[in-house]
Amino acid sequence: MTAMTVSTAISLGRVQLAHIRFRTLNTARQRLLWVAILFALVAALAIGRIAWLGSSDRTATATSLEEALLPPRGEITDRNGVPLARAFPAYALWFNPRAMGESGSALVKSPQEVAHALKQIFPDIDEKAMAERLASGKPGYLRRRVLPEDANKVMDIGELALEMPRETDRHYPQGRLAAHVLGYVDSDGHGKLGMEQVLDDRLSDPATRGQPVSLSIDLRVQGALEDELRKGMLSTNAEGAAGIVLDADTGEVLALASLPEFDPNRVEPGDLVLTPQEAKNGYFPKAFNRVTNQVYELGSTFKPITIAAAIDAGVVRDFGKRYDASPVQMGRFTIKDSHAMGATLNVPETLIHSSNTVSARIADELGGEKLRGTLIDLGMNQRPYIELTGRGFPIWPGKDWPRLRTMTVGFGHGIAVTPLHLASAYAALVNGGIWRPATLYKLDPDQVPRGRRVFKASTSSRMRQLLRMIALDGTGRSANAPGFRVGGKTGSAEKPGSHGYRHHTLVSTFAAAFPMDRPRYVVVAMLDEPKGTVASSFQRTAAFNAAPVVGRLVPRIGPVLGVRPDATRDIDLSDLRPLVPHGGSGE
Amino acid sequence: MSATQPYIPRSGERGMVSDRYRPSRKSELRIWWREIDRVLLFLILALMAIGTVAVAAGSPASARRLSTSASRLPELYFYWAHLRWQAVGLVVMFGASMLARDSARRLGILLAGGMIAALFLVPLIGSEVNGARRWLDLGIRFQPSEFLKPAFAIVLAWIFSWRLRDQNLPVAWIASGLMVLVAALLMLQPNFGDTLLFGGVWFVLVLLSGVPVKRLGILAGIGSLGIAATYFLYDNARHRIDSFIGGGTAFDQVDLAQRTLLGGGWFGTGMRLGVRKFSLPEAHTDYIFSVIGEEFGLIACAVVVCLYLAIMVRVLVRLADEEDLFTLLAGAGLATQIGGQAFINILVNLQLFPSKGMTLPLVSYGGSSTIAVCLAVGLLLAVTRRNPFLKRETPGLRALLGEKEEHA
């Protein structure tokens, strides 16, 4: 009986336990899913956070090998590897008002004290404005391009809010030198003006930016050119100056300068845009490149081109032939010479004395079609050939020139080109007659373009004699650096104003090449609106301002470029010299 | 006469043991391979492989940081040490996974007893590191709390499973008492992170054991009160929570971790090319997730998160088909312990949780704690072993979901 009861009780208990087990297991299983869902939610939260962090701007872009090993922007060097533009690791001064936490003052000391301390380090800052800036509590750059020693001094102030992040900056170690060739880099990191703009893709592409780009510029020549141009500009109170040194055989630009220039390390807004007042007065912004972008009526420097075209066409065969030098009357216009040169002139005398009348008559005899053809061959009907982006379009007379136009173009009026056009044309005049596009890239001998023949080699040979005679006996005497066999032609053209030509504002140019027995370099120097000063003997014509610039420049750059002064060598002038009676008199 | 019979432990079971079939070692291995959860094993080995690579990445940073002028640690010092610990850990893991369920339970109970005893010793003879007394040096240095983790889950599961024998036993009170004891011992060290983890395991098991939802709400309230109390009682915890809420200052631990995490963008800098990691303290342990972020990218971080989630889901979903309450509870407890620690570490690295001194299980360099984690994983593998030829008697997960649908 008892056993019976016990066994029933056990079995009853077992049934109950089995029931409990079933129920408990069921609950546990259900709640297992709750736990699984909980973990899934946490994981979703984590992944969501990863996605949010990843798409926030706080994530550093992957530091690639390129960024680790290459400069952020490629270097530019001159033809000898001297750096002209390089990446420079500098510091910036950043104001972070939250460096010491959200609440409370951003600075330990008062803004005035901190501004005063900063003023001791950077004397050019405005202390009061800086104090207001610090007090305003707005984050931002206080200054960029901070030198390492100045960064240390800022650290010594002991303000956490003054942070010094490293920034790679574009640095032009040569300062203002070749500013127009190089251009600058804007705040977005893109090149502006000059080769920085032209080479922007190449300088930023990781595949190419490791290799510096060699320009055709020779820094030593560039420095000498800018120095002499500046002296010439300042001594004559000129508005501006422009100059170029071109390799006559390859078209490489060894130096290119436009004054006044700007500092690519610190480009001011005023360098780029003018106030309306300045624009009205006909000024140019400093960033404006006068060599490639501004067109001038270059006047008498065109006369050798006219004569060369005439020799080439067989119009001038006899250099002893005398031309009538009296004023030319064409309708309302009279073409006159600046001073009396005698009743008749032969071709060498025409160039030596720079006669407008004889040049006009020879151009007339040559004919507008042929003169025009020569100028087109010299590329004067289109923008100059160079890599730079700022290239001026010539004032080109178009087709079907009337006689008067032919005559004025014959002595360089009624057509306006850039100084670079003129330099390329002079290279063709003296190098045997081949015109080649100018370039700012350093060329290997096998990269030199074939160019196109504009003049016969014999014509070019004559032109060397004639240009040398101008420097020996004519208006270019002050450019005749001893031993360098300089030859060249002056040009003093009146600038056009609103009412015809303005007689007292001139553009004086001297276009030259040296050494004339084997011309290697073309030099063009131009002064914009020089005044008569003591330095120029109170004269404004090119013979007194632009030619001396070349005369001083050539002895400086000649030895650098491998042209040694040699008094025993010169081009043979024995056949032409007797045609000029006063030749060699040395007034 | 009472309707229920007092529970007599193991009545009538002894006799069957003696004449049980004893398999050879080879067939034992075959049975092991058949019964083990191979997907789970694969996931765990994958995480350990990731850990090997990640410690190789983090090792130079920590080696450089811990080098002094007197002794320079080689760059890969922690990598080689980690490989050694991982090898030992793998042996422990496979050994534990070979255990039968009952042996696993016995091991867990014994270990728990030993470790709680060791925890009593820690305040007396423990060595102090970084302002907390957690280590015990008995020939080998180890943290008793690390080894208590897997044992604790098993003991709690064992205690809760008593209810099936006798529903009158106050299992919840016993378990909670144990929890309070362990928490008190841990907070003596102090060790807030591990207390939280043990509390989590305990909470999950209380949840699974069928405590009414209302009482769970009260528990959650007490839990948050406890955390608040910790905030006011412990300086260390307060500083960390303050710096978490306040955004911290530049270049503190949290900020450095985030800089490292984001240093490589989506795809990372590439192995051993990270630079931010060098400014990071504990690059090879607590902040290894950030190092993974820098060198292998945020995508890799997401993959790691998914791996942990996959482990959790795999274990929990398979347990839902389980017949045995102890297995179910022990499996869930062990999984919670591993997954919970992983997610706390990950959330700390992602700045969603205040900084805790807690490693990423299976991935971080851990020394003896690697072995503790491997032991936990081995025990998890052991309790989730299942004869694939046996069908369950009770409705499984699918029926459970179907049932839910009917209710809805």
**Residue A168 in domain:** no
Rounded mean pLDDT, B270-285: 83
Domain total for chain A?
A: 1
Q: Looking at residue A287, what is its pLDDT? A: 86
**Residue A299 in domain:** yes
Interface test with B, best of A2, A29, A56 (most B CBs within 10 A): A29
Rounded mean pLDDT, B215-240: 79
Q: Looking at residue B248, what is its pLDDT? A: 52
Greatest mean pLDDT among A43-47, B216-220, B394-398 lies in A43-47
Q: Looking at residue B83, what is its pLDDT? A: 93
In A, residues 506-545, which contact B (CB 8 Å cutoff)?
Answer: none
Q: Looking at residue B1, what is its pLDDT? A: 46
CB contact under 8 A, B352 and A49: yes
**Residue A249 in domain:** yes
- Nearby residues of B240 by Cβ (< 8 Å), 6 or more positions away: B354, B355, B356
**Residue B12 in domain:** no
Q: How far is residue B197's CA from residue B193's CA, in Å, rounded to a whole number?
A: 6
CATH number for the domain harbouring residue A403? 3.40.710.10
CB contact under 8 A, A45 and B339: no
**Residue B104 in domain:** yes
Rounded mean pLDDT, A576-585: 70
Structure tokens at A129: 């404005």
In A, residues 88-127, which contact B (CB 8 Å cutoff)?
Answer: 99-102
**Residue B307 in domain:** yes
Q: Looking at residue A552, what is its pLDDT? A: 92
**Residue A87 in domain:** no
Domain carrying residue A483: 221-579
Whether pLDDT at A59 is above 70: no
Rounded mean pLDDT, A81-88: 86
CB contact under 8 A, A46 and B207: no
CA-to-CA separations, B107 to A359, B32, B90, B110, B333, in angstroms, rounded? 117, 18, 18, 5, 16
Q: How far is residue B332's CA from residue A35's CA, in Å, rounded to a whole number?
A: 9
**Residue B308 in domain:** yes
Considering only CB atoms, A46 lies closest to which of B250, B268, B347, namely B347
Considering only CB atoms, B350 lies closest to which of A30, A35, A50, namely A50
Whether pLDDT at A3 is above 70: no
| Pairing label, strands A76-77, A213-214 | parallel
Domain total for chain B?
A: 1
**Residue B5 in domain:** no
**Residue A539 in domain:** yes
In A224-360, beta strands by DSSP E:
240-247, 253-259, 323-324, 328-330, 333-335, 344-345
Pair B264, B294: CB distance under 8 Å: yes
Domain carrying residue B329: 34-387
DSSP state, residue B356 = -
**Residue A376 in domain:** yes
**Residue A11 in domain:** no
Phi, psi of A244 (to 5 degrees): -150, 140
A85-117 pLDDT, tens per residue? 888 777 888 888 877 776 677 788 888 888 999
Work out the angle between the directed axes of helices A546-560 and A219-235 (0-180°, nearest 10). Answer: 160
**Residue A36 in domain:** no
Whether pLDDT at B302 is above 50: yes
Higher pLDDT, B378 or A165: B378
Rounded mean pLDDT, B292-302: 91
Q: Looking at residue A418, what is its pLDDT? A: 92
Kindly indicate the confidence band of residue A58, based on its pLDDT and cuts at 50, 70 and 90: low
Nearest to B292 by CA among B41, B85, B56: B56
- Shortest Cα distance from B121 to chain A (angstroms)? 34
CB contact under 8 A, A102 and B247: yes
Q: How far is residue B260's CA from residue A309's CA, in Å, rounded to a whole number?
A: 73
In A, residues 228-247, which contact B (CB 8 Å cutoff)?
Answer: none
Range in A365-374, A445-454, B274-283 with the lowest mean pLDDT? B274-283
Residue with tokens 């034992």: B28
Kindly indicate the confidence band of residue B408, based on its pLDDT and cuts at 50, 70 and 90: very low
Considering only CB atoms, B305 lies closest to which of A27, A33, A46, namely A46
CB contact under 8 A, A9 and B317: no
A222-271 pLDDT, tens per residue? 999 999 999 999 998 888 899 999 999 999 999 999 988 888 888 888 77
**Residue B23 in domain:** no
Q: How far is residue A366's CA from residue A254's CA, in Å, rounded to a whole number?
A: 35
**Residue B188 in domain:** yes
Whether pLDDT at A423 is above 90: yes
Pair A386, A440: CB distance under 8 Å: yes
Using DSSP, state whether A415 is helix, strand or coil: coil
ipTM: 0.88
**Residue B375 in domain:** yes
Q: Looking at residue B2, what is its pLDDT? A: 47
